[in-house]
Structure 1
Amino acid sequence: MIQFKKHSGIYTLTTEQVLNVSLQEAWNFFSAPQNLEEITPKHMGFTITSTVDKKAYKGQIITYKVGVLPGIKTNWVTEITQVKDQRFFIDEQRFGPYKMWHHEHWFEDLKNGKTLMKDKISYKIPFGILGHFAQVVFIKNQLKTIFKHRFKTLEKLFNG
């Protein structure tokens, strides 16, 4: 399930997925930044360029290269701004393609060996009306593609 909303010039994307693994297993996978490459579509050329030898922690800076358009890669820098073990973590863009990017990753133990994972991404696009046009024509679909790919990949990894 992928939903988009717009409010005060900010777009919000929400998703959720039930994983057939314990909360501990889900947390171990998602709080390891290097696993992000595994769940991102290959065509985006996503690579982590910084050293990420630890699980996500408050203050952690992670740098990436990512394809924003065919043949065009950009640098992206995020900071893990909050972490509550086995509950949530938040990453925020410090430098990159968006004017603002705030990504909340939430995890809930469903008490039956399953975990509910929720994402909430609030983002603002630069360039005013041109940015809004890009959202309608391209960005929204690109984000849908990323999260559909992620959903399918996680289904194979955890629910297959």
Structure 2
Amino acid sequence: MREYILERTQIIPQSRETVFGFFSDPRNLELITPPWLHFKILTNPLPQGAGSIFDYTLRVRGIPIRWRTLIEEFVTNEYFIDRQIRGPYQLWHHTHTFKTLPDGSTEMKDRVRYIIGWGFLGTLAHALWVQRDLQAIFDYRYQVIETHFRR
């Protein structure tokens, strides 16, 4: 069982409070998720906090998936951690951190630890599809965030 890590850093020309507010609103997941995933939030989009749980659906390569996320930790304007408690991964642990830079912009970091499971088949799926799909999803997010915060 191999653990993989995906890390991304993005500088956003807005205050940390503004950026954190955007990412802590679950409704914005639909905006930053690629349309080809057909992402739909199912739970009432209440503000996040430690212990919050959100259900949503998406389609990966045409396969419908139900996903449930638990917000494990939440420190306003600093970071939050979400963990998949139901979904396709054996482990999905996503840390979002926000840091104010000297010029007033915000450094946002995503760090995702994930395990696919399924032994050799999971390793093969990662090499053939999963890694590439995750890169495409986070590339899309990057572009949407750039456009959204630079208008």
Q: TM bucket by the smaller chain?
A: over 0.9
Higher relative contact order (CA 8 A, sep 6+): 2
Query: Which residue number in structure 2 is paired with residue 4 of structure 1?
Result: none
Query: Which residue number in structure 2 is paired with residue 75 of structure 1?
Result: 66
Query: Which residue number in structure 2 is paired with residue 97 of structure 1?
Result: 88
What amino acid is the match of 2:58? V
Query: Which residue number in structure 2 is paired with residue 17 of structure 1?
Result: 10
List gaps (5 residues or longer) in structure 2.
none
Q: Secondary structure at the match of 2:127?
A: helix
Q: Secondary structure at the match of 2:31?
A: coil
44, 47, 52: which one pairs with 2:40?
47
Query: Which residue number in structure 2 is paired with residue 5 of structure 1?
Result: none
| TM-score, normalization by structure 2 | 0.97
- Is 1:132–2:123 an aligned residue pair? yes
Find the aligned partners of 1:65 and 1:31 in 2 and give their Cα distance.
Answer: 19
- Can you list the C-alpha shifts for 1:114-154, whole angstroms capped at 9, x where unaligned? 00000000000021100000000000010000000001001
What count of residue pairs does the alignment treat as equivalent? 151
Query: Could you tell me how far 1:79 is from its partner in structure 2?
Result: 0.2
What amino acid is the match of 2:36? H
- Can you list the C-alpha shifts for 1:79-114, whole angstroms capped at 9, x where unaligned? 000011110000000010001100000000013220
Query: Could you tell me how far 1:57 is from its partner in structure 2?
Result: 0.2
Query: Could you tell me how far 1:9 is from its partner in structure 2?
Result: 1.2
What amino acid is the match of 2:140? H
After the TM superposition, which parts of structure 1 deviate over 6 Å for at least 4 consecutive aligned residues?
A: none
Query: Which residue number in structure 1 is paired with residue 56 of structure 2?
Result: 64
